[in-house]
Structure 1
């Protein structure tokens, strides 16, 4: 098992929101809460960037992925627009969540609402090399449903 230290700073005025937290011991994601200054209403099909009230610093071999909360997606049709949203290790700004309402009713985000989750992933150091040709495989260039629907 690998350990990593992620440093979180709660931005001024967001002490009531606090840090991301796991809701159960074995949860893989840390819940993110809305740090909106006033309620934000999302009409069906509408999207908004929701602040979380914190910034962070991760080691160079980590990324953070902003993912939907399954309960909001299932019950309300609320999800993250660019799922998963990637936060790079060198980003130091406030973490934001792009929410979209795929439901049929207006959804209102209130301060402190749990709106998404943050999952950390290891990122290997990859070197990209240009070559003249690639080795052959049985699959070849088949994609986008080449094995059936």
Structure 2
């Protein structure tokens, strides 16, 4: 799939690191570093603008290394970039650690997965088909 992109960043375009990678790293595009204090959040610009085809979204997800090692994650994970959005792709980072974290220009801050999606047409009914699980949710199937 070809996707149109405008880059106002000095960094490489998002790209897949390996043949089997689902996501492409997004980099911070900053004039000055941004400090995130514990529990603080900020929208980090990436300097990229994309034009997705209808029926496709870009999902912005945390980078596992930043989350595990530093407690930095994407607040609205996964964030969605809709096909009709033409603004700059931004990443809402939050610092869930007890230490300050500095976001530097060019730092890999999130990953973006391009995914097809379906649109639904609701069909109102009086009853849903029964299943063994039924309405059990939120851990009702056990932990092991």
TM-score by structure 1 length?
A: 0.89
Matched, 1:9 2:9: no
Matched, 1:74 2:71: no
Give me the whole-angstrom Cα distance separating, in 2, the residues matched to 1:147 and 1:117. Answer: 31
Q: 2:19 aligns with which of 17, 22, 25?
A: 25
Q: 2:120 aligns with which of 106, 123, 126?
A: 126
Equivalent pairs, count: 143
Q: 2:107 aligns with which of 85, 105, 113?
A: 113
Matched, 1:104 2:101: no
Runs of 4+ in 1 over 3 A off after TM superposition: none
> Counterpart of 1:42?
36
Question: Counterpart of 1:75 in 2: which secondary structure?
Answer: helix
Provide Cα deviations, 1:54-98, integer angstroms capped at 9, x if missing partner. 110111121111011111111111111111111111111100000
Give me the whole-angstrom Cα distance separating, in 1, the residues matched to 2:17 and 2:61. Answer: 15
User: 138-147 vs 61-70, which deviates more?
Assistant: 138-147
Structure 2 gap ranges (5+): none
Give me the whole-angstrom Cα distance separating, in 2, the residues matched to 1:69 and 1:99. Answer: 11
Question: Counterpart of 2:88 in 1: which secondary structure?
Answer: coil
Give me the whole-angstrom Cα distance separating, in 2, the residues matched to 1:62 and 1:108. Answer: 33
Give me the whole-angstrom Cα distance separating, in 1, the residues matched to 2:101 and 2:94. Answer: 10
> Counterpart of 1:137?
131
> Counterpart of 2:87?
93
Give me the whole-angstrom Cα distance separating, in 2, the residues matched to 1:54 and 1:18. Answer: 10
